[in-house]
Chain A
Amino acid sequence: MNKPIRRLALFTMALFGVLLLNISWIQTFQAESLREHPYNSRQFLKSLNQHRGSILVGSEEVAYSEPVGGDSERYQRHYENGPMYAPVVGAFRAGSATGIERAANSFLDGSNELLAVNNFRDMLTGEEPKGADVYLTVDSGAQQAAMDGLQSLGKNGAAVALNPQTGAVLASYSSPTYDPNSVASVTNTEEANQNWTELEASEQQPLLNRGLNQVYPPGSTFKVVTAATALENGATPESTQEAPASLDLGQPLPNAWDGPCNGGAPDSLAHSIEISCNTSMANWAIELGGQKLHDQASAFGFNQGPMEIPLPVNESSAPLETDPNILGRAGIGQANIQATPLQMALVAAGVANDGDVMKPYLIDSIQNSNLEEVKAAQPEVAFPDAVSSGTAEDLTRMMIGVTEGDEASGPAGAISGIDVAGKTGTAETGTGHTHNWFISFAPADDPQIAVAVVVENGDASGGAVAAPIAQDMMEAVINE
C-alpha cells in the first residue's frame, strides 16, 4: 500500500507546487499589470491621500491640491478657471481622471521613475512626498479668446492653436465645457459622481474634447491640401482649371454661390483659394488623382493613426480614392475626408513652418517638488517636408489672399498691420446644417501661431463665424 501513498504524497506536493507557482506568478510578473488594471481602485484611493502636483499655465496654477483638513488625510483638487481649461486639464475625480490629469498622472502623483531620486531624497529627509508640477504649453490669452468666441456664439465647436515652429499647443478648447470642480469633490463624492453621470449622459457631450477627438468634414479648409498637391506636382499659383458654376459628379457639385468662379473662364489656383472656388478645386483633385491627394494628405498627418500629445488624438483620414466623382468632392474636403480640428491646425502650421509639420505637444516641462526640471519638451518634426518650402511660400501668399484679397472670402480673419494667412471652410454635414471652419496662421512672414476653429452647425460661412474667433486667438498671442 505504500506505493500509492507515495504517489498520493507526490500528487499533493504537486498541488502545492501549482499554488506556489501561481502566487509567484501573480505577485511578481503579473503584479505590475494588476496594479495598473483599470478596475483597480487602490492606486487611485492611495493617490487621494497624496499631495498631487500642480498643473500650470504660464505661472498660474490651474489645478492644484490642498489638504481637506480636519481628520481627513485626503487632498482636494481645485481648478482655477475650471471650465476654460477643462478640455486640456481634465478632471481628477473619485473614480478616475481625464485629460492631462490622466495623461501625466505618473508625474503628478510622483510615481514616475524619473522622480525616483527625488522621492528617495524626500524619504530620507522625512519630507512629505509631493508629486511633480506639470507646465502646459497653453497660452492663457489664446485659450480665453477661444472660449469667449465659442461661448458668445452659443454653438458647439472647438478651437486649436499651435506654435507652428515648435508644435507647442497654444490653445485647445472645446465647447461646451464643464467645471471640473463640480466633479472633483472628495468630501462629497456622491454629488460629484452624480454630476459626472449627468455630464456623461448629456447630449451636448461636454466631456468630448472636440478639438482632438472629434472628426468633421473639413470642407474648404482642405483645399489647402489640394492646392499643395497641385503645387508639389508642377502647378504654379497661376495654373488654371475649368471653374464652371457646377460640376456633374454623379450629383451636381455647385459653387457656394450661383455662377462660375472667374466669369466663366478657367480660374487660377491662387484665385480659387482666395474665393474658395469648388469646381476648379474639384477639377484639380480629379486631374491629380487619388493617389497624389492621399499622399499629400498623409504628408500633413492624415491617415497616420492616433497620436498622443500626450492627450489622445483621433486619426484623421483621407482614404485613397479612385472614383472621380468622390475624388472631386474629396478635393474640397467633403465625401470621405474626416479631420480633427487639430489636424487642420497642423496643415496650417505645416504651411507656416516652411513645410515641416512639428509634432504637437501640450506639456512644456515638468518640475519635481524641489523645483528641478525633470523633463522638458523637445520640439521635433513629425512630418518633415510635408511640402517644399517653395510650395509653402506659394500657399502662404495664396492664403493671405483669403483675408486680404480683393474678393477675400475670410476678411474677418485679418489683423490690421500684419499679414494673416487663412482659409475658410463651410462643410456640408448631410443634415442640412453646415459646420463652419477657419484655419490660419500669423504673422505670415514670421508665424507665431497657427489656428483651426470649427463651429458645429454654424449654418453660416466659415469666414463669418469661425474667422473672428481665430482672429482673436491670433491677436492674443501676437500682441503679447
Chain B
Amino acid sequence: MTLFAVGITLYGLIEAGLTRNGEMPASLFVYGVLFGGLAVLAHLFIRFFAPWSDPLLLPLATLLNGLGIAMLWRLYEATGDTSNGSAMNQLILTAGSMAVFAAVVYFLKEPRTLQRYPYIMALSAVVLLLTPLIPGIGMSVNGAQQWLNLGFTTLQPSEFAKIALVIFLAGYMVTKRDVLALASRQIKIGPLKVLDLPRMRDTAPMAAMWGFCIIVLVILMNDLGTSLMLFGTFLAMIYVATHRGSWIAIGLTAFFGACALIYPLVPHFRVRMVTWLDAFRPDVFCTDKYLADPDSFCQTSGDSQQLVEGLFAMAEGGMTGTGLGGGKPGFVPEVHNDFIFMAFGEELGLAGCMVILLALALLVERGMRIALASKELFIKMFASGISFLIGFQSFVIIGGVTRVIPMTGATIPFVAKGGSALLSSWIMLALLMRMSNNARKPAPQAIQDEGATQVIQR
C-alpha cells in the first residue's frame, strides 16, 4: 500500500511534467528513488519496531505527503519560481520529518510515560506559543505573528505547542477526570434538570484556556487558526474525559461570546469575518476602480481576492479537474501555502479533493479507533486528542478556504508546504502508530508447558 502511495506520487509528477513541458520531469528518477526509498524505509522500520501498528496509517500519510510534493513540484518547477523553497526542499524536509518519526516510534516505547509531566508540557506549550512575541526572533508572516526566525530557518512553534498541549490535557484530565465530570451544581426549573453546571473552581482550566486563546492568540498574535484549533481540541478532550455536554455548552458560549465582544475591537478579526460573509462584495473583492466600471477586472486586490480566486480555481476544476499541470493555479495568490487545496481542486477536480479529504478522514478515524482500542485512560485521551486535532485542523483550513467558516491560517496535515507543519504531522503520526502498536499487540501467550504459571502482563 505504501508503494501504491509512492506510485501515485510519481504518476502525479509524470503527469505534471508531461502537461507542462511535454516531457518526463528530468528529476523524476531522483524523486522516485528518494521518496520511494524513504517510504520503503519507513515501512520496513515500522515492520520491525512497531509491527502491530495500524497498517493503514503510514500509506495514508505517505499518500498525502507525496501528493503535496507532486503539487509543489508542479507549482515551483513549472514556473521556475523557487524563491519560496521548492519541491526538493519539501522532499528533504520530508526525509527529516520521517527520521524524527522513526526516532519517536523507536524511543518512545510507552507513550504513557508522557503522562508524568503534564505541567512541563503545559509550560512548554505556552512558552512555544508565546515565543513569536519575543522581539528579534518573532516574525510576522501575512499578518499573523506566529513565526520564529532562527536565522538559518524559520519555525512555527504553534505546530509543536499543540502536541504538547494535547499531552498536557490528556494527563491533566485523566487526573482530574472525576472532579470535572461529577462535581456539579444542577440548575433546575421545577423538577426538570436543565443544565449541569460545573463548580466554579473547576472551570479554572477552561477559563485559562479561553483567556489564552482569545487574548494572546487572537488579539496579540492575530493567529485565529491556532486559537480555534487549540480551543476546539480542548473542548473535544474535556468532553471525552467527562462525557458532559455542559462543558461544551459553556466553552462554545464563552468562545463565541468573546468573538462577538472583540469583533468591533480587533480590526483583523473583523476583516476576516467580512471577507468570509461578503467575499463577493465589490469593495471587499477589490480596492481600486470597482465603482468606475463593474465590468472590468480588479487591479488592486481586496481582502477577499485570495478566497474568491480560490473558489474560481475550484470551479475551473469541476468534477475531474484540468489535470496536474493543466490549470492556472497562479491566479490564486499564495497558492503554495494555505491555498494549496485550491490547486488540487483545480487540477484534480472534485475527484482529487475527495481523495484528499477521504485520506484525511480515514487517518482521523483510524486514530479514533486506536483510542477506542486502547485500555489506558491516558492513551485514550491522548489518541483521541491527536486524532481530533488532525481532523479539526483539516476542517479549519479546508473549511476556511472553501468558505464554510471564516478563513484562518492553518495547514493541511502532511500536504502543506513547510518544515514545521510537516514535522509536527509526522510526530503526531508517530505517536498514533506507537499507541496503535501497543494497543494491538497481542498479549503474550501463556507458555502452556509451564502449567498454570500466571503471565503478568507488563
Contact = CB atoms under 8 A, between A and B. Distances in A.
A153 interface: no
Interface string A1-36: 111111111011101101110111011101110110
A5 B368 contact: yes
28 contacts: A1-B380, A4-B239, A5-B240, A5-B380, A9-B364, A9-B365, A9-B372, A11-B236, A15-B399, A16-B357, A16-B364, A19-B395, A23-B314, A23-B357, A26-B314, A27-B318, A27-B345, A27-B350, A31-B316, A31-B318, A32-B315, A35-B312, A38-B295, A39-B297, A39-B308, A42-B328, A96-B293, A200-B293
Contacts of B298: 39
B312 A34 contact: yes
A42 B395 contact: no
List the 3 shortest-distance A-B pairs measured between CB atoms, nearest first. A34-B315, A9-B368, A12-B391
Contacts of B361: 12-13, 16
Given A12-B392, A27-B315, 18 more contacts: A4-B239, A5-B240, A12-B387, A16-B357, A16-B395, A22-B403, A26-B315, A27-B350, A27-B353, A31-B318, A32-B315, A39-B286, A39-B312, A42-B312, A45-B328, A95-B295, A95-B297, A96-B297
Nearest to A3: B243
B349 interface: yes
A38 to B, nearest CB: 6
Contact of B399 (A3, A6, A18, A27): A18
B263 interface: no
Interface residues of A, number: 44
A408 to B, nearest CB: 46
A26 B243 contact: no
A433 interface: no
Interface string B26-46: 000000000000000000000
Nearest to B239: A4
B280 interface: yes
B341 to A, nearest CB: 9
A239 interface: no
B231 interface: no
Given A13-B361, A15-B392, A8 B402 contact: no
A5 B371 contact: yes
Contacts of A19: 357, 394-395, 398-399, 402, 404
B243 A4 contact: yes
Interface in B137-162: none
A62 to B, nearest CB: 22
Interface of A: 1-9, 11-13, 15-16, 18-20, 22-24, 26-28, 30-32, 34-35, 37-42, 44-45, 95-96, 98, 193, 196-197, 200-201
B292 interface: yes
A4 B240 contact: yes
Contacts of B292: 197, 200-201
A40 B289 CA distance: 16
B377 A34 contact: no
Contact of A96 (B295, B381, B395): B295
Contacts of A18: 395, 399, 404
Given A23-B353, A24-B350, A95 B296 contact: yes
A296 B187 CA distance: 75
B315 A31 contact: yes
A8 B388 contact: yes
Contacts of B388: 8, 12
A186 to B, nearest CB: 14
B349 A27 contact: yes
Contacts of B236: 8, 11
Contacts of A34: 311-312, 314-315
Nearest to B402: A22
A6 B240 CA distance: 9
A41 B280 CA distance: 14
B384 interface: yes
Contacts of A193: 299
A82 B346 CA distance: 38
Given A8-B236, A8-B368, A28 B319 contact: yes
B364 A39 contact: no
Interface string B299-332: 1000000001001101111110000000010010
Contacts of A26: 311, 314-315, 345, 402
A15 to B, nearest CB: 4
Contacts of B241: 1, 4
A1 B314 contact: no
B343 interface: no
A23 B315 contact: no
Interface in B175-215: none
B297 A41 contact: yes
Mostly, the B contact residues are helix
A348 B345 CA distance: 56
A22 B354 CA distance: 11
Mostly, the A contact residues are helix
Given A3-B243, A22-B404, A16 B315 contact: no
Contacts of B319: 27-28
B365 A1 contact: no
B285 A39 contact: yes
A111 to B, nearest CB: 14
Scoring A31, A41, A98 by chain B CB atoms within 10 A of each residue's CB, the highest score goes to: A31
A96 B295 CA distance: 6
B240 A8 contact: yes
Interface string B372-383: 100001001100
Contact of B240 (A1, A24, A197): A1
B360 interface: yes
B294 interface: yes
Scoring B296, B369, B372 by chain A CB atoms within 10 A of each residue's CB, the highest score goes to: B296
Nearest to B315: A34
Given A5-B371, A37-B312, A13 B240 contact: no
Contacts of A32: 315
Given A8-B236, A13-B365, A27-B314, A1 B353 contact: no
A42 B371 CA distance: 46
A193 B289 CA distance: 12
Interface string B235-254: 01001111100000000000
Contacts of A5: 240, 368, 371-372, 380, 384
Contacts of B358: 16
A199 to B, nearest CB: 10
Contacts of A197: 289, 292
Nearest to A34: B315
A12 B398 CA distance: 13
Contacts of B280: 37, 39
Scoring A4, A11, A18, A200 by chain B CB atoms within 10 A of each residue's CB, the highest score goes to: A4
Contacts of B399: 15, 18-19, 22
A23 B402 contact: yes
A27 B317 contact: yes
Contacts of A3: 243
Nearest to B243: A4
Nearest to A25: B402
A289 B395 CA distance: 68
A250 B213 CA distance: 73
A94 to B, nearest CB: 8
B353 A16 contact: no
Contacts of B349: 27
B398 A40 contact: no
B394 to A, nearest CB: 8
A282 to B, nearest CB: 42
Contact of A15 (B243, B368, B387, B391): B391
A263 B3 CA distance: 106
B297 A1 contact: no
A20 B357 contact: yes
B315 A35 contact: yes
Given A16-B360, A18-B399, A40 B312 contact: yes
Interface in B363-421: 364-365, 368-369, 371-372, 377, 380-381, 384, 387-388, 391-392, 394-395, 398-399, 402-404
